[in-house]
Structure 1
């Protein structure tokens, strides 16, 4: 069960979902830590690691969007109300958008930085900077933008997690479990 069906997510969607979730949340934590480290050497290493995972995240999100566009999307359970049926796709689009925009804004940030430090994802190759004007003003703008886009992204992730937990523990439907394994039942669970 690699591909999605009308009722289930396949292993590819499930794997990409959890890998991107771990990377996105981990990147947020790493970003908070790296700007608070007193040692410049350690901060530099953490920033390089943050950039490496940022490029990896950007690539995986592009793969995930392509996979989503080329696969069926499981329908929401019948118990889900009309308002949530309209809200869920909008929140998913926002999640995809923020998962793209946050790493892209980081790439823009390093591209406009007056420090002009090369980005070497996992020390494998040099990632070229985007062809943008280098300036203090642009760097300041993108530091602010990258930071607040990340905060907005984490807020959306928290909303997404709370909605999944609501489905699992309160509504007792299959919305969460079908993102864990394609082999869980696809009918609603009975309250205990």
Structure 2
């Protein structure tokens, strides 16, 4: 069975690790009561991870557009292939929309985003107290959708590895 390219594997695993780190940091920071130096530092790191994920995802998508993934195994049913393709599209939509929603939420809150504490991102909207709670909720819902999609993605890969034994998981392993 044909494998993904080393570049595709690199993008896949690095993106996955950064998303897990950003998700964990996001859950951790919102549980810290009040406004503390630690909480503010975590918020900065969370934003930096989000921007990094967005930039890496742009590179990943460009790579993917020029490099087709390996075909699904011949024994996969049509509905499984459609479900897998749909889930991959959903994951791509989420890895773009989550950082963008977080960025807009930060701007609606009146807090500019300064990548790595050095590079200010453009302020494309004024603070908006009416939009702020909607963007906060959107960011949360998108993240929970990503969590569910991620779990489904992992479970499907494990199903292919241990039940179907069709080599699907091995295609993305270095």
- Please indicate the TM-score interval, normalised by the length of the shorter structure: over 0.9
Write the mapping of 1:40-119 to structure 2, written as runs, cut at 5 A: 40-113=36-109, 116-119=110-113
Helix, strand or coil for the counterpart of 1:123? coil
Higher helix content, 1 or 2? 2
In 2: Cα distance, 1:148 partner to 1:7 partner: 36
Mark the runs of 5 or more structure 2 residues left unpaired by the alignment: none
- Alignment pair present for 1:19 and 2:14: yes
In 2: Cα distance, 1:123 partner to 1:111 partner: 16
Q: How many residues align?
A: 173
Deviation at 1:117, TM superposition (A): 2.6
TM-score for the superposition, normalised by structure 1: 0.86
TM-score for the superposition, normalised by structure 2: 0.95
Q: Is the 8 A contact 1:53 1:121 kept in 2?
A: no
Question: Residue in 2 aligned with 1:127?
Answer: 121
After TM superposition, which residue ranges in structure 1, 4 or more long, deviate above 4 angstroms? Answer: none
Helix, strand or coil for the counterpart of 2:116? helix
Mark the runs of 5 or more structure 1 residues left unpaired by the alignment: 1-5, 182-192
The RMSD of aligned alpha carbons is 1.3
Query: Which of 1 and 2 has greater Rg?
Result: 1
